[in-house]
C-alpha cells in the first residue's frame, strides 16, 4: 500500500457535491450554441418597415362658384370637354330638339365609319329614292341639300351636307347607306344614346323633324362632349361653308361659327322645339385649350328677339361668356401623402414626385387616392414608394410617391436588443 492519495471517483464527487466535468462542458457548449443561434437569428431574421398613407382626400377648386348667365326661358346646360358638367338650368324634362338630333346621326356614322385626317372616306352613290326624298322634304319646307341620281358623295361631303346646311334629306341618305333605312338607323341612335348614358333622350327619326325626338340640355351637352372628341366631326362643324358636287356652295346655318369663340356645333328650330342651339366655344387656360360645350333648348321669339334662332343664339353667347375656366394646381411637388415607419429610426415622409394641375371652375371637386408599395430596408432617398391618383370630372393624373429620406437597415445593436 502506497502512501499517495487516490483520485476521487465519480461517486465521491457526487457525495461531495462537485460538478461533473463532462456535464459542465456540455452545458457550456449548449449555452454557447444558444448564444450563437440567437446572434445568428437576430442578424439574419427579416425585419420590415411599415407604410401608412394619408386618408383619401376630397378637395375642391377654390374661389367663388361661377355665376352662370342662364336664359330666362327654356332649359340649358353647360360643361367642359374632358372634365364634365358644370351646371344645369330649367326643368330638365325631355323636350323636342329639332335638328340637333343630327348630331347623333353624325356620331353614329362616324362610329360605324371612322374618318382620319383629310380623307374623304368611302363614296356614297345617290339613288333615285334619295332624289325623291329630297323633293318631298323640299316641298315640306325642310332644310335640304340638292342631290342628283348617280351623284357620288364622299362620307365627309355627306357629313358636311348634314351638319352645315342641315340637310334633312342627307340624314335619310346616310341612314339608308349605313343601316338600310331609317328604322334600323333610329334603333342604332337609341342604342348609342343608352350606351352613352343619355337616359332622357329618345329618337323617333334621323333628323329631328318629328316632335317625338326628345332630349334634355344636359344629355345634349354630354353628347356634344363626345362628338367634339372626334376630329372629323369637330373639323366639319367648325367650317363656315363647304362646296358639294351638285348643291355647290353651302353655308353653315350656325351663323356664329368663328364669332365669340364659337367653334360649332348645331342649331335646330321647329314650332314644337323652339330655337335650339348646341354650341362649343374654345378657351385657352394657362396655355392649354379647353372646349366649353353648352346647350340652350326651347328658346322662343320675343319682342326684342324676333326669331327663335336669334333667341337661341343670344342665350348661348351670354351663357358662354359667363363660363370662365381656370387652371389649378391640385397637388404640389413635395406634398406629404404617406410615411415609411421603422421602429429603429424616425418615420420618413412619402412625397409627391411632381406637381399636377387640372382645368376647372370654383367648387369643382378633386379626389385623391393613394396606394403604397411594399418596401424593405434599406429605402433610399427618392426611391419609388407608390402612387397617388387624382381625379376631377373626367380628368385623371397619376403621380409617383417617393421617399424623402433614407431608411437604413436595422443596426447590430438594435437587432440584438429586439429579437
What DSSP letter does each residue of 143-210 carry, written as one string? ------TT-EEEHHHHHHHHHSS--HHHHHHHHHHHHSSHHHHHHHHHHHHHHTT-TT-B-SSSSS-S
pLDDT at 193: 98
Contact between residue 265 and residue 103 where contact means Cβ atoms under 8 Å apart: yes
- Write out pLDDT tens, residues 89-123: 999 999 999 999 999 999 999 999 999 877 799 99
- Tally of CA atoms within 13 A in the half-sphere of 58 that contains its CB: 4
**CATH fold match for the domains 50-61+329-410+412-416 and 75-323:** no
**What pTM does this model have?**
0.80
Which H helix or E strand runs over 314? helix 308-322
CATH for the stretch 50-61+329-410+412-416: 2.60.410.10
pLDDT at 372: 85
pLDDT at 375: 82
Per-domain residue ranges of the chain: 50-61+329-410+412-416, 75-323
Exposed / middle / buried, residue 302 (Cβ in 10 Å: 0-12, 13-18, 19+): middle
- Write out pLDDT tens, residues 306-340: 899 999 999 999 999 999 898 888 888 998 888 88
Whether 1 shows a pLDDT value over 60: the answer reads no
User: What letters, b where the CB count within 10 A reaches 16 and e where it falls short, cover 59-79?
Assistant: ebbeeeebebbbbebbbbbbb
DSSP secondary structure letter of residue 364 = -
CATH for the stretch 75-323: 3.40.710.10
Torsion of CA 388, 391, 396, 400, to 10 degrees: -10
pLDDT at 312: 97
Amino acid at each position: 500500500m502506497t502512501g499517495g492519495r487516490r483520485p476521487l471517483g465519480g461517486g465521491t464527487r457526487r457525495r461531495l457535491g462537485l460538478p461533473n466535468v463532462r456535464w459542465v462542458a456540455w452545458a457550456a457548449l449548449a449555452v454557447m450554441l444558444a448564444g450563437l443561434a440567437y446572434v445568428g437569428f437576430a442578424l439574419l431574421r427579416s425585419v420590415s418597415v411599415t407604410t401608412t398613407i394619408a386618408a383619401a382626400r376630397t378637395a375642391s377648386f377654390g374661389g367663388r362658384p361661377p355665376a352662370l348667365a342662364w336664359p330666362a326661358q327654356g332649359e340649358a346646360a353647360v360643361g367642359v370637354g374632358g372634365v364634365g358638367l358644370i351646371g344645369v338650368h330649367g326643368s330638365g324634362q325631355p323636350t323636342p330638339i329639332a335638328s340637333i338630333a343630327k348630331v347623333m346621326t353624325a356620331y353614329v356614322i362616324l362610329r360605324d365609319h371612322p374618318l382620319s385626317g383629310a380623307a374623304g372616306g368611302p363614296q356614297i352613290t345617290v339613288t333615285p329614292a334619295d332624289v325623291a326624298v329630297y323633293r318631298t322634304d323640299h316641298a315640306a319646307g325642310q332644310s335640304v341639300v340638292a342631290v342628283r341620281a348617280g351623284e357620288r358623295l364622299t362620307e365627309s361631303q355627306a357629313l358636311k351636307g348634314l351638319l352645315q346646311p342641315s340637310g334633312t334629306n342627307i340624314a335619310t341618305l346616310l341612314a339608308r347607306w349605313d343601316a338600310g333605312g331609317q328604322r334600323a338607323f333610329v334603333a342604332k341612335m337609341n342604342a348609342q344614346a343608352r350606351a352613352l348614358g343619355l337616359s332622357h333622350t329618345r329618337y323617333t327619326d334621323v333628323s329631328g323633324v318629328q316632335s317625338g325626338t326628345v332630349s334634355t340640355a344636359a344629355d345634349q351637352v354630354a353628347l356634344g362632349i363626345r362628338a367634339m372628341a372626334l376630329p372629323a366631326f369637330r373639323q366639319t362643324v367648325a367650317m363656315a361653308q363647304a362646296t358639294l358636287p351638285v348643291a355647290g356652295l353651302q353655308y353653315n346655318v350656325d351663323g356664329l361659327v368663328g364669332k365669340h369663340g364659337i367653334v360649332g356645333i348645331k342649331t335646330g328650330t321647329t314650332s314644337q322645339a323652339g330655337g335650339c342651339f348646341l354650341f362649343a366655344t374654345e378657351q385657352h387656360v394657362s396655355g392649354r385649350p379647353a372646349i366649353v360645350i353648352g346647350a340652350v333648348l326651347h328658346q322662343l321669339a320675343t319682342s326684342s328677339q324676333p326669331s327663335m334662332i336669334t333667341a337661341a343664339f343670344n342665350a348661348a353667347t351670354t351663357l358662354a361668356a359667363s363660363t370662365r375656366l381656370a387652371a389649378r394646381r391640385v397637388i404640389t411637388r413635395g406634398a406629404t401623402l404617406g410615411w415609411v415607419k421603422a421602429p429603429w429610426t424616425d418615420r420618413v415622409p412619402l412625397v409627391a414626385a411632381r406637381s399636377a394641375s387640372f382645368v376647372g371652375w370654383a367648387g369643382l371637386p378633386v379626389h385623391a387616392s393613394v396606394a403604397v408599395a411594399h418596401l424593405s430596408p434599406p429605402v433610399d432617398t427618392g426611391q419609388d414608394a407608390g402612387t397617388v391618383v387624382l381625379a376631377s370630372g373626367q380628368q385623371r393624373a397619376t403621380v409617383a410617391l417617393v421617399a424623402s429620406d433614407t431608411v437604413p437597415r436595422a443596426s447590430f445593436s438594435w437587432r440584438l436588443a429586439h429579437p
